[in-house]
């Protein structure tokens, strides 16, 4: 058996950063890859956020049709409590389940929306799992013990660490933290490569996929070092050293890409994709402060006693929203900084506080217009450039637990959920934030050479993966196989096939007979919630 398709995910990759690095010789392999294959921008979903975007890439469906909207999820439309997302929230077939149902072996490394792991023939190491639970998160059950023989295997550096995630968005308090943090991500990417190499050599899968997420983390925290032209010029020796380390990260990543492509050989179709792009962010919109000052939200006494001076966005405060708000007098609130979403409190029984269903349409429209009317007090500029209603971007059978409104801020940044003394503040230093256009690349048999295609949709990746494997594309997928990236002779000899119904149910994972969530799986979820502050 050999690898037929290699899918390489690069979280947050953007040509804004990569193109200069290709021209400067920092990433010579990636430059040659595009010269011998296809290059295109890749438009993501709204919001441009890791969990729903990667899930859309895996399913070819929008969030309202697959069920993942954020790192967190409302328990139900009538429940204010939120929890961390899991693979059980994915209510659509994935490239993994469809390939598995067709009898193909699958290897998936570090992708989100994969815990509990799909019970497929192959190897699954889910992303976004605390390191202490990585053993029971892997599939099959003996995989972790096999991986312990891989040189440099270090579960502490592979798995999710919420403190590191918080640092990426909140920033470093000490300049001495930057260097070790970047070096950690260099080691982490090397570790994922070693695992991939081991599995390809020992037990290859027809569909093999790995996700490198350090690009996203570095760009969040180190955008001013990677793209100093977006801010002030670098001046101090320590700043130049951080930039050198950032470039070293990209240089080392390029080397890993070269080794992977060489490992699978020229007969493999290689696809490269990111979940979103990136750009600079300079300010923070304090959404709940704005909502409070405009009469939509009231803080509880507990919130008034909380010290928010050390944080900007409130990543560490997500679990506390249920007791930080006065629910008798709150009609709209933001509960996570990641989704840029605002929820409306709806009184469905005629007795509870909030907006009645009859009042809801007019209330949401007024709130939308009020948000669009908000201006920067110092310049008069519009701060919120777009406000999307739930039905506009989350249409589908699963959209009812999505935010009622989703905001697009003028500099692409994230909103803050904290109680601050201002509605709009300047960040202490420029950071990086998500943008709608990511990257795509393809190379292999039948793929055009040196071709730059028009921007594709992230929904096109799942159909393209299936086509590369010789599998039909379900009619339910909202993306397409971009025929323009292939030689016309390939499309003639290998026509695109469609299937009327999906061949697999959910993920073929914890939803079938052998797959209800086990006590071990539940323990992993509990540990996640504990690390996030949900439970003691």
Count H helices, E strands: the chain? 20, 20
CA distance 364 to 203: 54
pLDDT at 268 (0 to 100):
98
Read off the tokens for 355: 């907006």
pLDDT at 73 (0 to 100):
75
pLDDT at 287 (0 to 100):
96
CA distance 250 to 279: 17
pLDDT at 41 (0 to 100):
98
pLDDT at 520 (0 to 100):
57
CA distance 474 to 340: 32
List the Cα angle 6/12/14 in 5-degree steps: 90
Q: Is there a contact between 39 and 100 (Cβ–Cβ < 8 Å)?
A: no
pLDDT at 356 (0 to 100):
95
- Would you say domain 5-276+436-504 falls under CATH 3.40.720.10? yes
Residue 174, class by beta-carbon neighbours within 10 Å (0-12 exposed, 13-18 middle, 19+ buried)?
exposed
DSSP reduced 3-state for 82? strand
Residue extents of the structural domains in the chain? 5-276+436-504, 282-428
pLDDT at 443 (0 to 100):
98
* DSSP 8-state symbol, 356: -
pLDDT at 160 (0 to 100):
64
CA distance 395 to 384: 22
Tokens 């995910």 sit on residue:
9
Q: What is the mean pLDDT of each run of 10 residues along the chain (536 residues)?
A: 94 98 98 98 94 97 95 70 83 96 97 92 92 89 95 84 54 75 94 97 98 95 94 94 98 98 97 97 95 95 63 54 84 90 91 92 98 96 97 94 95 89 91 96 98 98 98 97 97 95 50 45 52 38
Q: Is there a contact between 395 and 64 (Cβ–Cβ < 8 Å)?
A: yes
List the Cα angle 272/276/280 in 5-degree steps: 125
pLDDT at 314 (0 to 100):
47
Report CA 166 to chain centroid distance, whole Å. Answer: 15
DSSP reduced 3-state for 399? helix
Task: For residue 387, list its beta bridge partners.
Answer: 407
Max Cα distance, the chain (Å): 69
The model carries a pTM of 0.90
Nearest to 147 by CA among 199, 207, 186, 204: 199
* DSSP 8-state symbol, 315: G
pLDDT at 176 (0 to 100):
81
pLDDT at 82 (0 to 100):
73
DSSP string, 403-426: -SEEEEETTS--EE-S--S-SEEE
């Amino acid at each position: 058996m050999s690898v037929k398709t290699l899918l390489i995910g690069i979280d947050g990759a953007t040509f804004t950063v990569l193109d200069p690095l290709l021209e400067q010789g920092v990433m010579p392999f990636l430059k040659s890859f595009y010269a011998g294959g296809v290059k295109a921008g890749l438009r993501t979903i709204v919001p441009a956020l890791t969990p729903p975007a990667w899930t859309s890439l895996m399913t070819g469906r929008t969030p309202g049709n697959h069920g993942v909207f954020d790192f967190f999820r409302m328990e139900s439309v009538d429940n204010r409590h939120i929890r961390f997302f899991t693979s059980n929230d994915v209510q659509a077939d994935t490239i993994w389940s469809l390939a598995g149902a067709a009898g193909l072996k699958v290897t998936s490394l570090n992708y989100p929306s994969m815990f509990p792991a799909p019970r497929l023939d192959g190897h699954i190491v889910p992303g976004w799992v605390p390191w202490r639970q990585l053993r029971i998160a892997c599939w099959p059950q003996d995989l972790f013990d096999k991986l312990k023989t891989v040189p440099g295997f270090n579960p502490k550096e592979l798995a999710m660490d919420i403190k590191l995630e918080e640092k990426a968005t909140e920033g470093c308090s000490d300049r001495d933290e930057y260097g070790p943090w970047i070096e950690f991500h260099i080691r982490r990417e090397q570790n994922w490569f070693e695992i991939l190499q081991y599995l390809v050599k020992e037990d290859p899968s027809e569909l093999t996929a790995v996700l490198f997420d350090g690009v996203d983390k570095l760009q969040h925290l180190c955008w001013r070092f990677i793209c100093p032209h977006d801010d002030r010029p670098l001046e101090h020796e320590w700043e130049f050293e951080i930039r050198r380390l950032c470039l070293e990260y990209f240089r080392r990543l390029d080397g890993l890409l070269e080794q992977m492509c060489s490992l699978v050989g020229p007969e493999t179709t290689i696809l490269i994709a990111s979940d979103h792009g990136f750009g600079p962010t300079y300010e923070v919109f304090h959404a709940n402060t704005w909502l409070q000052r405009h009469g939509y939200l009231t803080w509880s006494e507990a919130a008034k006693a909380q010290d928010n001076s050390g944080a900007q966005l409130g990543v560490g405060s997500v679990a506390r929203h249920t007791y930080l708000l006065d629910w008798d007098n709150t009609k709209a609130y933001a509960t996570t900084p990641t989704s840029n979403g605002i929820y409306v409190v709806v009184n469905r029984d005629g007795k509870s506080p909030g907006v009645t269903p009859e009042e809801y349409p007019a209330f949401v429209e007024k709130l939308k217009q009020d948000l669009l009317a908000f201006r920067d007090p110092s310049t008069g500029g519009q701060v919120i450039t777009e406000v999307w209603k739930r039905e506009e971007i989350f249409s589908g059978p699963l959209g009812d637990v999505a935010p009622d409104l989703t905001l697009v801020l003028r500099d692409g940044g994230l909103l803050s959920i904290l109680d601050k003394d201002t509605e709009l503040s300047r960040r202490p230093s420029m950071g990086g934030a998500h943008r709608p256009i990511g990257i795509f690349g393809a190379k292999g048999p039948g793929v055009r050479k040196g071709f730059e295609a028009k921007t594709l949709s992230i929904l096109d990746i799942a159909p393209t993966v299936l086509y590369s494997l010789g599998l039909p594309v379900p009619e339910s997928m909202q993306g397409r196989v971009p025929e323009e990236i292939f030689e016309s002779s390939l499309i003639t000899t290998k026509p695109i096939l469609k299937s009327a119904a999906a061949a697999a149910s959910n993920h073929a994972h914890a939803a079938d007979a052998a797959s209800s969530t086990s006590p071990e799986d539940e323990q992993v979820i509990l540990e996640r919630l504990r690390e996030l502050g949900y439970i003691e």
